[in-house]
Structure formats: structure tokens, C-alpha cells
Chain A
Amino acid sequence: MAKITFDGIEVDVPDGTTILNAARTIGGGIVPPAMCYYTPLKGSGGKCRACLVRVAAGSAKDPRPMPKLVASCVTPVQDGMVVENTTSEQVLNVRKGIVEMLLINHPLDCPVCDQAGECDLQNFAFEHGVSTTRYEEERRTFEKIDIGPLIQLHMTRCILCYRCVFTADQLTEKRVHGVLGRGDAAEIGTYIENIIDNEFSGNVIDVCPVGALTDKTFRFKQRVWFTKPVNAHRDCENPKCCGKVVLWYKGKDVLRVTARKDQYGEVKEWICNTCRFDKKETSDWTLEGPAHIDRSSVISANHYELPVLNAQVIADLPESSVRDLEQNPPMRLGN
């Protein structure tokens, strides 16, 4: 075990844990943002530089500070390490710069983007960015790229996090897409016109932190905060698929099926394309109940896991209903 101090909070974590995951054991607002790191994907991280932190003391043995900021997602902890994240002005300034860089070529088309409401870059910019840009130069644009019937690639929105490449590499036997070109001319592509159509390709949609890879069967159907997420499962015949999903309802219609994610937006278990794209009837699934949505998410604005007691409404209820409610008290709003 290693004892580290993260923003003044001491925490014990197993050896080999990264600084980011050590912070996640503390949780809350001090956890560094991560745009490219993705726990289930081996080799991910270190690229977006959003999670840079200052190491004020390297370890108990060598308490010297590290000369540069380090990517917390790929740097393992050392016993006695002292890390500054929200307490370091340098880190917060750099983070502002990273937001500015990422937004140089990322269009602010959130009003028409299907990822709006569950976009990591939107959250990152809201928490760490500034409201203006100093960038006056021409931005890059792309011709429309068709990569098949299920997934839409919007290259203008891509922030080159490599998550989709790692996903395809690690979940499928035949990756047909990757990063082409260099520098700010780099792009996700299939090199020679190709479609991404293997049985687990839909997972690239889930791992994309922005709206670069979206679900063609869901595009423009609904803003995500108007839908109701419900946990469901089925016995999927594909042995690699966990069959555990979230169904996103609008009324009685299932508009979208996704894998389940944890509080950091990371997929817990992968699902196959059959579950994601072909099973959109409630009868295909065994419903488990409302999916938990973090209160800080915009999606929670229209999402309640338990009945809500509103005092004003109760005053107008028939006496029998009031008695019912008294016997089975629901959750009070704000409790």
C-alpha cells in the first residue's frame, strides 16, 4: 500500500494505482478531469493532458517535487507522494489552456449535437474553461465521412482521444479505423473508404467523450435530458456481451440503448450491436428500474428515481390518497 496526500487529504491506495484513480477513491470535485483516459481500455490516457497535476513531493524516499506537471491518469503513486490538483494555481491555469486548445477546432454546435448533455468536453469547459477564446485563425473542417449504417463520424468534433481506436483494438479482431495524419491534421479515419461494422463497433459511440461518434439510429430523435433511462437486461446469445444495458425511453418508445456507465462516464461492461441497435422493444428486455443518474448531470433534470412528495399538491389530494401516502411515505423532495 502507498500513502499519498491529494489536495491535503491523505489516502491509502494499493501500489501501482495511478494518481487519478487514487483521487477517485476520495471522489467529489477534487477528481481531475479525464478526456482520454478510460479505465476499461488498456493503454489509454496521457494524451489530452486535462488531468495534469503537480507533484509537490515525489515520494517519502525522494521528496523532491517533480519538475513538470504530470498526467495523473498514467503516473503511478509512490508512498509519501504529495499531489496538488485543485490547490495548485498552476494546474488550474494549465487546465484553462487545455480547454482553450481543445476548443480551437471543436465546434460549439452543442445545440444540434447528440452528445449534448452527456459530453465530457462540455462539462470540462464548463468547469475549467473561460467564456472567450483568443483564437482568430481559420479552423479546420471536414467533408462528411460515411463509416457505415450504424455510426456517424463527425470529424470536426473529434478531440483525438484515441479511445475509439483502443476500443476497436481491444474488443474486436479486426480494427478498420485509426488515426491518420499528423499534428492538427490528424484525424480518425478508415484510410481506404471502409465501414465499421463488427459486432462490438457500437461501443465506440459509448467511449467517445464528445459527439464525434454518434448513434445513427438515435441522431436528432431527442435531447437526452428529455429521455428516461431505465436499467434492463436480456440473455444475449453473444458470449462477449454482458446483456446489461440502459434503455432510454421517450414515452413508451425506446429511442436508444447504451451500455451502463459508472459515475466517471466509463462503461462498466461492453454490449454487442444486436443489443444496442436491434433490440428496441420493451418486450426484448427484463426491466430493472430507473438508472441512477448523478444529480450534477443535466439528464437528472427530468429524472426521478422515487416518487416526489410535493406539499402544495398534497393539499388538493382526496383524503383517501393522503391516507395512502401517510401509510407509504414517499421520498420528500430535497431529502
Chain B
Amino acid sequence: MGRKLLTEHINVEGIDTFEVYRKHGGYRSVEKALKTMTPDEVVEEVKKSGLRGRGGAGFPTGMKWSFLAKPEGVPRYLVCNADESEPGTFKDRQLMSKLPHLLVEGMITSSYALGANTSYIYIRGELLYVLRILEKAIAEAYAAGFLGKNILGSGYDLDLYVHPGGGAYICGEETALLESLEGKRGNPRNKPPFPAVQGLYARPTVVNNVESIAAVPVIVNDGGDEYAKIGVGRSTGTKLISACGHLNKPGIYEIELGVPVEEFIYSDEYCGGVWKGRDLKAVVAGGSSVPILPKELILKTAAGEPRLMTYESLSDGGFVTGTMLGSGGFIAMDETTCIVRNTWNFSRFYHHESCGQCSPCREGTGWLEKILHRLEHGHGNERDIDVLASVAKQIEGNTICPLGEAAAWPVSAAIRHFRDEFEWHVRYPQEATRPGAVFPGKAVLA
């Protein structure tokens, strides 16, 4: 059994209340940090831990914190990105609704480290019930003296707010989130300047994912070095994986980074294998925006090594033979899955969610979706697959924010690894679009 650092007490009855959470060691990191450590020492522990951003980008959290500009007399902000909404990713929601005090504790300790006296949790508007859970937890923390003025007599003040967004995927992009938090349309900003220099209200700001902030109490309590002992290489600690799709036991699993992908899919400790005894066809390992990989490449790297659940191993080989750990949204597809249909489905999402600010994303995401719609419905032509790949290429890297890549990567990767299936849709549209049709294999195209 792997160690559980964040979710150890998740099933304890009443753990969402201050009293029970406190009994199980809650808020120890606040006491330790505020009473025995300087803010810089907390930052140093997070650096030592090797914690990488759990929202998807995987940037080292401690390093991100150390970039924060600290001009005299200017307020700084910590903003928690709780706008989780990538298809396939649903672990933050669980963490917040079951363990709200873990996030609040993480926010206090992290805010102290960053010298922020006002912090925000920007939560997805649809998660109204989670917002209420968090608001209750914050009220309890205020009542217990862990928030507000002069916390635990340390002289440190912190106000914490939960702010619901309007429910737009783009508001999960950190600069669009800040725009939205300021009350404006959630359009991403051009970078530079980066939020660490000019973020919320044009002040230095750190934006971190829920899971990243929830890991901070563990790091402060046990020390960064202890945390870094878990995992493999530069992928340290534990990671929440939200597994869904054609699995016997879909759910949210806290894994120690480094678990082999094969073990994660097939062992009883985790997903328990592919449902109905079917064969695995493909996996999207880190949320719908990351490249899809066929079975042979998700279980083993191109060099034949076992693929591990780490940032490095999953990206081994770049996008030609690799993918990304991303946010940990693990979507498994069995042998009956139509890759064209699945890609079209993802594309519909990104088309709908593009903010429309920059031209390649505004026009390109719609173009991708429309071609995929035709292919899936049996109206594709010989040229479509190349045009599709080319349009994805035109979007990738040329947009203001990463939504362009998020829309393009699934399409590029699906064509790269499953081109035969796309061709089948073009050449045998009636067969390919028949309900329940399963791609019969390359032979039919020969």
C-alpha cells in the first residue's frame, strides 16, 4: 500500500469540521510555521520537497514562490486555483469537499510563507456546494483564531475569501482567473508581465492549484527532505489521480509518484483492470488536453521500459511516443472505443470553451471540431485528416494562453497514433459510423 499524505483521514467521520480535523493533527503546520519558522524557511522547505504544481504544468512550486516580487509597502496575494474543469480531472473537488480544512490550512501556511495578508480561493461557480463547505471551514478557522488578525499571537494577519467564478474553463488559466477575480471578462493576459510581478490588481501574486497548496502542510510538518524521499527522481511526493473511463474501479487515488502505469491500471489497489474483461486500447493520462497514447506506449516507453506515473516517464519521448502527467486526469479507453468520436468529443469542449480573444484559437478550435464532426458522421474526405493535423499545428504554440495547445494536442496525438482509424472513417463511412462499430484493424485498409 502506498502512503497517503493528503487523504489519510479522508474517510474519518466529521473530518470536514474544525474539531475533528484538529484532533487528527490539523493546523499543526500553521502553528509550526508561525511560531518557529520565518517565511523564507517555509519557502525553503517547499523548495527542498521538490513539489511540482499539481494543476497540470508541473512547475516547481518552491521556485515559483521564490519568483514572487517583494517590493516594499506593496501587498502580495496568494490565489488558489480551484477552477478545476478539465474533462477527466475531478480530484480537487473531492479534496475540497471532504477535506476543506486541509486546503484552508495550506492557504494559511502558504500565505505566511509568501507574505500575503489577503488570499483567495477562486472556485468554479458550478461547485456551489463545495463553496459552502469551504466557507463554513473558513468561518470555523476564523473562530478558532487561525484566520484574521494576529493569528496565534504571531503578529501575522490573514483574510481568506472564497470567490465563485462563472463556470468557464478558460478561467482556470491563471491570468484569466485573475481577470475574472478582478470582476472582468475572463480573458487571459499577455505574458510578460507574469503574475509574480503583476498579478491580482497588478500586484505580485502566486497562483497555485488546490492539490499543491494542500501538500504544503504535509511538507511543513514532516520537512521538505522527508517529502522528497517519496517518488522517483524529480517527481516527488504523492499525486491525486482521478481515474475514469473503462475501468473496473474508477475513482480518485492518491499514489506515490513512480507507480508503474500497468500496476495503476490493473492492480486491485488501484483501478482493478479494464472493465468487462476487455482489452485496453488507449489512455489519456493527464486530463483531456494531454496527448492520447495507445496501449503499447502507455504501458511501456518506446525503449521498452515500464512507463511510470511520473512527470518524466510519462513525457518520455516527447509527444512522439510520450504524453504528460498533467493534472492527473486518467481516462482509460477499452478496445471498443472510437478514437475519432472521442477526439471529436474533446474538440467540442475546447471549441465551446475558447475565449475567442486570439485568432488561431477562436477560429481554429471551431475548424477542428467541424472537420471531426464530419469525419465522425461519415462525411469526411481524403484531405480532411491532413487538414486537421495542419490546423492543429497552426494553433499549437501560437496563442495567448495554453488553451490553444489543449485543443490541438488531443487532435495531433489521435492522428499520430490512430491515423488508420481516421482513414477508415473516410473510406468506409457507412461501416465506421454504424452504432457500435469497432475499428477492425489495419488489414481492412490494406
A159: chain B residues within 8 A (beta carbon): 359
Q: Give Cα A97 to B354, complex, Å.
A: 18
Contact A184 B365 (CB under 8 A): yes
Contact A181 B190 (CB under 8 A): no
Contact A182 B354 (CB under 8 A): yes
Q: Which of B359, B364, B390 contacts A47 (CB 8 A)?
A: B359
Contact A101 B363 (CB under 8 A): yes
Contact A49 B360 (CB under 8 A): yes
Q: Which of B351, B357, B400 contacts A160 (CB 8 A)?
A: B357
B393 to A, closest residue via Cβ: A97
Contact A182 B355 (CB under 8 A): yes
A135 to B, closest residue via Cβ: B367
Contact A76 B359 (CB under 8 A): no
Interface string of B376-412 (1 = CB under 8 A from A): 0000000100010010001001111000000000000
A residues 156-211 touching B (CB-CB < 8 Å): 159-160, 162, 178-179, 181-186
In the assembled complex, how far is the CB of residue A35 from the closest CB belonging to chain B, in whole angstroms? 8
B387 to A, closest residue via Cβ: A134
Contact A184 B363 (CB under 8 A): yes
In the assembled complex, how far is the CB of residue B167 from the closest CB belonging to chain A, in whole angstroms? 12
In the assembled complex, how far is the CB of residue B113 from the closest CB belonging to chain A, in whole angstroms? 27
Count of chain B residues with a beta carbon within 8 Å of a chain A beta carbon: 33
In the assembled complex, how far is the CB of residue B175 from the closest CB belonging to chain A, in whole angstroms? 11
A243: chain B residues within 8 A (beta carbon): none
A137: chain B residues within 8 A (beta carbon): 366-367, 370-371, 374
A residues 38-60 touching B (CB-CB < 8 Å): 45-50, 52
B366: chain A residues within 8 A (beta carbon): 137, 183-184
B390: chain A residues within 8 A (beta carbon): 134
Q: Give Cα A68 to B361, complex, Å.
A: 15
**Does A102 interact with chain B (Cβ within 8 Å)?**
yes
B residues 255-314 touching A (CB-CB < 8 Å): none
Q: Give Cα A162 to B355, complex, Å.
A: 13
**Does A71 interact with chain B (Cβ within 8 Å)?**
yes
Q: Give Cα A94 to B393, complex, Å.
A: 9
Q: Which of B190, B359, B370, B374 contacts A98 (CB 8 A)?
A: B359
**Does A86 interact with chain B (Cβ within 8 Å)?**
no
**Does A274 interact with chain B (Cβ within 8 Å)?**
no
Count of chain A residues with a beta carbon within 8 Å of a chain B beta carbon: 36
**Does B353 interact with chain A (Cβ within 8 Å)?**
yes
Contact A76 B394 (CB under 8 A): no
Q: Which of A47, A135, A182 contacts B358 (CB 8 A)?
A: A47
Contact A49 B359 (CB under 8 A): yes
**Does A104 interact with chain B (Cβ within 8 Å)?**
yes
Q: A101-B394, A159-B359, A184-B356 known; A49 and B399 CB under 8 Å?
A: yes
**Does A69 interact with chain B (Cβ within 8 Å)?**
yes
B359: chain A residues within 8 A (beta carbon): 47-50, 98, 101-102, 159-160
Which secondary structure dominates where chain A touches chain B? Answer: loop
B355: chain A residues within 8 A (beta carbon): 182-183, 186
**Does A217 interact with chain B (Cβ within 8 Å)?**
no
**Does A74 interact with chain B (Cβ within 8 Å)?**
yes
Contact A160 B397 (CB under 8 A): no
Contact B190 A46 (CB under 8 A): yes
Contact A160 B356 (CB under 8 A): yes
Contact B360 A104 (CB under 8 A): no
Interface string of B327-371 (1 = CB under 8 A from A): 000000000000000000000000111111111111111110011
Q: Give Cα A185 to B351, complex, Å.
A: 10
**Does A105 interact with chain B (Cβ within 8 Å)?**
yes
Contact B398 A52 (CB under 8 A): yes
Q: Give Cα A185 to B369, complex, Å.
A: 14
B residues 130-188 touching A (CB-CB < 8 Å): 168, 170, 185
Q: Give Cα A219 to B321, complex, Å.
A: 57
Contact A185 B356 (CB under 8 A): yes
Q: Which of A49, A181, A183 contacts B398 (CB 8 A)?
A: A49
Q: Give Cα A52 to B363, complex, Å.
A: 17
A residues 81-111 touching B (CB-CB < 8 Å): 94, 97-98, 100-102, 104-105
**Does B192 interact with chain A (Cβ within 8 Å)?**
yes
Contact A183 B351 (CB under 8 A): yes
A134: chain B residues within 8 A (beta carbon): 383, 387, 390
Q: Which of B170, B358, B383, B394 contacts A97 (CB 8 A)?
A: B394
Leading 4 A-B pairs by shortest Cβ distance: A186-B356, A97-B394, A183-B354, A46-B190
A and B contact pairs by CB, cutoff 8 A, 11 listed? A46-B400, A49-B359, A49-B400, A98-B359, A101-B394, A179-B356, A182-B170, A182-B352, A183-B352, A183-B354, A183-B356
Q: Which residues of B contact A (CB under 8 A)?
A: 168, 170, 185, 190, 192, 351-367, 370-371, 374, 383, 387, 390, 394, 397-400
Q: Which residues of A contact B (CB under 8 A)?
A: 45-50, 52, 68-69, 71, 74-76, 94, 97-98, 100-102, 104-105, 134-135, 137-138, 159-160, 162, 178-179, 181-186
- Other than the given A74-B190, A94-B394, A182-B356, 20 more pairs (CB < 8 A) read A46-B400, A48-B359, A49-B359, A49-B399, A49-B400, A50-B359, A68-B397, A68-B398, A97-B360, A100-B394, A101-B364, A101-B367, A134-B390, A178-B185, A179-B356, A182-B170, A183-B352, A183-B354, A183-B355, A184-B362
